[in-house]
Amino acid sequence: MSMLINIRKEAGWTSFDVVRKIRGITGEKKVGHGGTLDPFAEGVLIIGTGKHTKTLSSVSNTHKSYEAVIKLGEETDTLDTEGKIIKSAPIPDLSHDTIQTVLRSFLGIQMQIPPMYSAKKVKGKRLYKMAREGKTIEREPAEITINKIELINFSNDRITFSSNCSKGTYIRVLGSDIAKKLGTVGYLIELVRTDVGDVNIKDTLTIQEFQEKWKSISL
């Protein structure tokens, strides 16, 4: 059966974990996803099966929305909770207006350097594989667009913000760059993809919900 499935990926799962699970549930060999979500992240992951895998490229090209939490004062090598702390810095006195001004300075078209811990390929090899070998190589910056970015909450060493951005935007890098522009360092401790194109997180199914729905359809 060919279909597009709006899955809510849980934190701790890789995007390919979800693909394998859907393959096991449906028995469909041809299964793919429309845009990788980091293992520590959760939220909307569009899965295609059968003929619908051909439409996944258009899904991955759509703009996406996220909510993220930055922990200030420390930085990890992966820029998220998966890595080890490699740097620390004092946190300056910050106000809501100061943070909002810095966030909005990222609006528009800009160049972003992909992180070493990413699935991006350079000369045929995944960057994260080189990073795990202790290697750091020069990466070409890529053009991205931040359409919208807003402060949701700020307290102590945590900043929660929302963003709508183009394909290829690394929110981990954005979080790190925000911290640096605020005069400190930081990394993401939470990341939720809330929208992929017109698909909202409210319309998603967990793996368990999809499995139960599939069983009822298959009966």
Q: Which residues are catalytic?
A: 38
How far apart CA 80 and CA 77 sit, in angstroms, is 8
Q: Give me 155's structure tokens.
A: 């307290």
Q: Of the candidates 172, 24, 204, 84, which has an alpha carbon nearest to the alpha carbon of residue 16? A: 24
3-state secondary structure of 51: helix
- Give the count of alpha carbons within 13 A of 209, CB side only: 10
Measured CA to CA in angstroms, residue 182 lies from 71, 72, 75, 200 at distances of 12, 9, 14, 31
The answer to whether 188 touches 175, Cβ cutoff 8 Å, is yes
Q: Of the candidates 144, 165, 147, which has an alpha carbon nearest to the alpha carbon of residue 66? A: 165
3-state secondary structure of 127: helix
Q: Give me 183's structure tokens.
A: 């005069």
How far apart CA 101 and CA 182 sit, in angstroms, is 10
